[in-house]
């Protein structure tokens, strides 16, 4: 592909610079009128490194009525994402190479961007026996039992030692099942007023504390999924100061919403739940000081029926690929909570460094930050329609995505 992009604000390590570039044979070169390129005038538009989401559910194999690899990656590229890590709660669970290969073949056939799966930590995500790490290590971004916490500390220690020997990441869903007590939302003011059972914060930060001690002992590269509590932030901050090889992610809904904004609607139900304003402020502080390394969507589509049963009976999980950047840009950048450069670090630079260190080629997206619109789930490319940001007015629309040197989405 030979492409020219003129007069854009280009992201660089020193900030945004008005610039023109060419993309030729999967390399970025200085722009020249003498080059034979298809040229786009990007005056007033912004060029970002392609976004990287290290926590998505594409639902295949096994649950194609919720999402397919094709529909999920279409949603991704229409939003500026060029690389995704997919979670293993599938059927069959990728706990051995034969099961993983089913997913890899589907990715090869359908994916519109780079997709690298996680292998499961335990067989069938059952928490009893380690998966076949050796068979899968070459093909996965790491190992996770996302959707389920590993309850047995000795088994988690074994998993960390095995992952360490293979130079792979353990990406942990931290949840203590003994503390859930049937909860479906945050155990706080809203749950008390509504009578809807709550999930305590300790169910998250307790396992994080356990795992951080194990990570320090084993030396594994450890990543914490979707943190939501103030205690989680502080534990990870302390662990980083103590030299533990730990990174973590949070999600847009934890940074923008608190539990007093909940409605009795399935589009507000996810795991972990939206927590208190105090927790939200702690997450923002964690982003400001670098404790929180990245923002992932935990994109988790379900059918309309599965999300139509209120907070108590709907399935856990909301979609996020098509709302993440515009919501965060509108609520955090435009309100001067963080800079645009910081948002790009969180959505692209940092996750790429941790999970896609060997990625090469040209991966970028072009955004019109002035385009204002209302989030309408019926316009989504994902098969999921459930988002807490429905009907929210936002700024920022993706106009082009280039993945591995090829245009995969373009409305310019």
Structural contact between residues 57 and 300, judged by C-beta atoms closer than 8 angstroms: yes
Q: Residue 93 and residue 119: Cα distance in Å, rounded?
A: 8
- The mean predicted confidence, pLDDT, of the chain is 97
The CATH number of residue 320's host domain is 3.20.20.140
- pLDDT exceeds 90 at position 35: no
* 208 and 330 part of one domain: yes
Q: Residue 9 and residue 112: Cα distance in Å, rounded?
A: 26
* 227 and 170 part of one domain: yes
Structural contact between residues 197 and 221, judged by C-beta atoms closer than 8 angstroms: no
* 174 and 296 part of one domain: yes
What is the number of domains present in the chain?
2
Ramachandran angles phi, psi of 406, nearest 5°: -120, 140
- Domain-terminating residue out of 357, 374, 392: 357
* 78 and 20 part of one domain: no
Q: Residue 398 and residue 205: Cα distance in Å, rounded?
A: 36
pLDDT at site 198: 98
Provide mean pLDDT across the span 179-203.
Answer: 97
Pull the structure tokens for residue 98: 């034969």
- pLDDT exceeds 90 at position 34: no
* 22 and 85 part of one domain: no
Q: Is residue 400 part of a domain?
A: no
Per residue in 84-110, pLDDT (tens digit) is: 999 999 999 999 999 999 999 999 999
- pLDDT exceeds 90 at position 47: yes
Per residue in 221-251, pLDDT (tens digit) is: 999 999 999 999 999 999 999 999 999 999 9
- Domain-terminating residue out of 309, 329, 357: 357
Structural contact between residues 170 and 130, judged by C-beta atoms closer than 8 angstroms: no
Q: Is residue 20 part of a domain?
A: yes
* 223 and 102 part of one domain: yes
Per residue in 357-378, pLDDT (tens digit) is: 877 899 999 999 999 999 999 9
Per residue in 48-71, pLDDT (tens digit) is: 999 999 999 999 999 999 999 999
Q: Is residue 284 part of a domain?
A: yes
* 29 and 61 part of one domain: no
Please identify which of the residues 242, 293, 298, 305 carries the catalytic annotation: 298
Q: Is residue 321 part of a domain?
A: yes
* 266 and 132 part of one domain: yes
Q: Is residue 229 part of a domain?
A: yes
- In order of 10, 51, 323, 340, 405, the CA distances from 397 in angstroms are 16, 14, 10, 15, 21
Domain extent, residue 29, equals: 2-41
* 159 and 25 part of one domain: no
Q: What predicted TM-score, i.e. pTM, was given to this entire model?
A: 0.97
Q: Is residue 373 part of a domain?
A: no
pLDDT at site 33: 81
pLDDT at site 360: 80
Q: Is residue 401 part of a domain?
A: no
Clarify whether 289 is annotated catalytic: no
Structural contact between residues 47 and 359, judged by C-beta atoms closer than 8 angstroms: no
Region of poorest pLDDT, from 36-40, 92-96, 231-235, 290-294: 36-40
Q: Is residue 362 part of a domain?
A: no
* 7 and 98 part of one domain: no
Pull the structure tokens for residue 178: 């003994």
* 34 and 162 part of one domain: no
* 26 and 56 part of one domain: no
Burial class (CB in 10 A: 0-12, 13-18, 19+), 62: middle
- In order of 26, 197, 300, 310, the CA distances from 307 in angstroms are 42, 18, 11, 7
Provide mean pLDDT across the span 285-297.
Answer: 98
Structural contact between residues 79 and 322, judged by C-beta atoms closer than 8 angstroms: yes
pLDDT at site 101: 98
pLDDT at site 181: 94
- Domain-terminating residue out of 320, 337, 357: 357
């Amino acid at each position: 592909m030979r492409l020219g992009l003129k007069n854009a604000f280009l992201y660089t390590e020193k900030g945004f610079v008005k610039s023109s570039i060419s993309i030729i044979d999967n390399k970025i070169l200085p722009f020249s009128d003498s080059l034979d390129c298809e040229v786009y005038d990007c005056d007033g538009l912004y060029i970002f490194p392609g976004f990287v989401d290290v926590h998505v559910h594409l639902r295949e194999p096994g649950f194609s009525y919720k999402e397919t690899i094709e529909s999920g990656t279409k949603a991704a590229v229409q939003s500026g994402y060029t690389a995704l890590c997919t979670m293993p709660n599938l059927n069959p669970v990728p706990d051995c190479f034969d099961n993983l290969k089913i997913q890899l073949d589907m990715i090869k056939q359908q994916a519109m961007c780079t997709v690298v799966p996680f292998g499961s930590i335990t067989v069938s995500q059952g928490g009893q026996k380690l998966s076949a790490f050796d068979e899968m290590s070459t093909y996965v971004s790491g190992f996770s039992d996302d959707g389920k916490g590993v309850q047995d500390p000795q088994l988690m220690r074994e998993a960390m030692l095995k992952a360490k020997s293979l130079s792979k990441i353990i990406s942990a869903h931290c949840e203590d099942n003994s503390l859930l007590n049937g909860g479906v939302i945050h155990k706080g003011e809203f749950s008390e007023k509504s009578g809807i059972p709550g999930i305590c914060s300790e169910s998250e930060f307790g396992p994080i504390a356990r795992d951080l001690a194990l990570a320090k002992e084993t030396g594994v590269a450890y990543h914490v999924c979707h943190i939501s509590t103030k205690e989680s932030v502080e534990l990870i901050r302390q662990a980083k100061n103590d030299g533990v090889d730990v990174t973590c992610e949070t999600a847009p809904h934890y940074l923008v919403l608190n539990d007093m904004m909940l409605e009795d609607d399935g589009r507000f139900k996810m795991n972990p739940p939206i927590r208190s304003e105090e927790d939200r402020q702690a997450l923002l502080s964690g982003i400001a000081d670098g404790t929180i390394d990245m923002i992932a969507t935990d994109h988790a589509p379900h059918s309309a029926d599965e999300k139509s049963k209120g907070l108590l009976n709907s399935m856990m999980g909301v979609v996020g690929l098509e709302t993440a950047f515009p919501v965060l840009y509108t609520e955090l950048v435009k309100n001067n909570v963080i800079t645009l450069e910081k948002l790009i670090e969180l959505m692209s630079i940092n996750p790429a460094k941790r999970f896609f260190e060997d990625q090469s080629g040209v991966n970028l997206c072009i955004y019109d930050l002035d385009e204002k619109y209302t989030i309408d789930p019926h316009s989504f490319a994902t098969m999921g329609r459930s988002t807490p940001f429905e009907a929210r007015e936002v700024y920022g629309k993706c106009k082009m995505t280039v993945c591995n040197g090829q245009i995969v989405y373009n409305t310019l």
